[in-house]
Structure 1
Amino acid sequence: MLDSVLYARDRYLADDGLVFPDRCSISLAAVGDTQKHNDRIAFWEDVYGFKMTCMKKAVIPEAVVEVLKPETVISESTVIKTIDCGSVSVSELEFSVDFILKITASSFCTAIVGYFDIFFHKSCGNKVMFSTAPNCTKTHWKQTVFLLESPVAVKAGEDLPGHISVRKNRKDPRALLITLNIAGHKQTYSLQ
């Protein structure tokens, strides 16, 4: 949805004008919530005695927007993209980047969570920011959870490398296609 803000910025902003928020960062963290994974993914293995694993193909690619319990986060967060709202171009909103998540608790990584922070800093005497991180005050933006098909065993202190690609869904300009590669498992998610 940032496209419309950038269109207005490029068309109407005075030469010395400012855009607020002026900066945004997008972060990821690992999630270890085996109960949620069982309820949403493993559930399809045995639905009242019926094997319905084919449903996983429909459920897994749907990114889930919800408020995540902070205690389920099992890694440090890592910033994957910083956006300068005053100068970013629409084409720069599509990106691909490697990342590393530093694991803080031995568990099973069952999902990756994404969230954003926004900043009102440029030319501000009173700098302000807010975060949509799981451990911060809840917002209506919540967090975006990317459930993994198979949980990945992780140990505290180790690094969990990954790769993320974010691009627009050409069929729906307000939707994104996000491809995550974690521990050799690649999955594309739809975010609408």
Structure 2
Amino acid sequence: MGSCVQVVVDVGCGTGILSIFCAQAGAKRVYAVDASDIAVQDVEIDEEVDVIISEWMGYMLLYESMLGSVITARDRWLKRGGLILPSNATLYMAPVTHPDRYNESIDFWRNVYGIDMSAMMPLAKQCAFEEPSVETITGENVLTWPHGVKHVDCYTIQIHELESIATAFKFKSMMRAPLHGFAFWFDVEFSGPALYPANNHIPSVVHQIDGCQKKKRANPNEALVLSTAPEDPPTHWQQTLIYFYDPIEVEQDQLIEGSLVLSQSKENARFMNIHLEYASGGRSFVKESVMR
């Protein structure tokens, strides 16, 4: 791990596997801390730490994530020029088509063993598509290049920035297809801050996170990237899908535009409110859902 990287905090340690990896990599001391902000506040560490490591990411990056705990740990213990791993993250969204999923959930009711049960379809749509769905899609389902919803710099982000995130988007469909909803995924990068000495390498422990394939670096100075994008190998985060109750037929090069607001639920801070407004082909829609 290098002579300059000696004291590590693992935020949200769980089974402690990352803490063990850090110790195996040569850390002088490893503090394994529970995930909650309360736990982080209660822990007393009487020294500055060289590295904060955490698998804080949740579904859709921010749902039930431990980023707030990482921020608290950073402000309490990280020495000037210290490392946070992962160091930054980006949440993406893109319109998707997914006829198989729609057919298996909805059109199934048109013919159930030869019986027309289409009267069940409105209820089926509500049950299947009212809340976001965590599942795996492929690059073939994605209709456009993605839009960056939020970039998180773990060295500078503040907790209040997580309370509400808003973005406006504009997509141009690459093909003619039924638009079934929007997919969300994220990347995280492992790199040091500008203040961190250039000759300190990123500890090899980051290669172990989630057992996932990471994007290879062309040279050692480039950031190591873990991607949960549809075109990359699946991870346990998969992708998060927000489905429409009814598909929208879009033509090639047709615009799909609108806005998105992600906010913490007042009912429960762990829940995420999703307010999505979108328009295509002269028709406007609103979809509100809660990730709980």
Mark yes or no: TM-score above 0.5.
Answer: yes
The structure-2 alpha-carbon separation of the partners of 1:42 and 1:170, relative to structure 1 and needing over 3 Å to count, comes to farther
User: What 5-or-longer segments of structure 1 have no aligned partner?
Assistant: none
Q: Secondary structure at the match of 2:137?
A: coil
Match of 2:149 in 1: 80
1:116 maps to amino acid? F
In the TM superposition, 1:124-139 aligns within 5 A as: 125-139=221-235
1:7 maps to amino acid? T
Bigger strand share:
1
Give the Cα separation in 2 of the matches to 1:73 and 1:43: 24
1:152 matched to 2:248: yes
- Deviating more after overlay: 53-62 vs 126-135: 53-62
User: For residues 113-172 of structure 1, what are the alpha-carbon distances to aligned partners after superposition, in whole Å with 9 as ceiling and x for unaligned?
Assistant: 000011113356352112100001111111000011121121222321121100112223
The structure-2 alpha-carbon separation of the partners of 1:7 and 1:34, relative to structure 1 and needing over 3 Å to count, comes to same
2:76 maps to amino acid? R
Match of 1:111 in 2: 181
Q: Judge conservation of contact 1:41–1:60 (CA < 8 Å) in 2.
A: no
The structure-2 alpha-carbon separation of the partners of 1:142 and 1:119, relative to structure 1 and needing over 3 Å to count, comes to same
1:51 matched to 2:51: no
Give the Cα separation in 2 of the matches to 1:44 and 1:88: 47
Across the two proteins, how many residue pairs are aligned to each other? Answer: 192
In the TM superposition, 1:29-48 aligns within 5 A as: 29-43=94-108
Q: Secondary structure at the match of 2:247?
A: strand
Give the Cα separation in 1 of the matches to 2:161 and 2:269: 15
Match of 1:95 in 2: 165
**1:180 maps to which of 276, 282, 287:** 276
* Deviation at residue 35 of structure 1 after TM alignment: 2.4
Give the Cα separation in 1 of the matches to 2:111 and 2:161: 43
1:51 maps to amino acid? A
Q: Secondary structure at the match of 1:180?
A: strand
Query: Which stretches of structure 1, 4 residues or longer, exceed 4 Å deviation after superposition?
Result: 41-48
- Deviating more after overlay: 88-97 vs 54-63: 54-63
- Deviating more after overlay: 112-121 vs 7-16: 7-16
Query: What is the percentage of aligned positions where both structures have the same residue?
Result: 27
Q: Secondary structure at the match of 2:81?
A: coil
**2:89 maps to which of 1, 4, 24:** 24
Q: Secondary structure at the match of 2:264?
A: strand
2:136 maps to amino acid? V
Q: Judge conservation of contact 1:41–1:149 (CA < 8 Å) in 2.
A: no
* Deviation at residue 86 of structure 1 after TM alignment: 0.9
1:122 matched to 2:218: no
Give the TM-score normalised by the residue count of structure 1: 0.89
Structure showing greater Rg: 2
Higher relative contact order (CA 8 A, sep 6+): 1
Match of 2:56 in 1: none
* Deviation at residue 55 of structure 1 after TM alignment: 4.6
2:290 maps to amino acid? S
Give the TM-score normalised by the residue count of structure 2: 0.60
* Deviation at residue 81 of structure 1 after TM alignment: 1.3
- Deviating more after overlay: 37-46 vs 3-12: 37-46
Give the Cα separation in 1 of the matches to 2:285 and 2:158: 31
Q: Judge conservation of contact 2:170–2:255 (CA < 8 Å) in 1.
A: yes
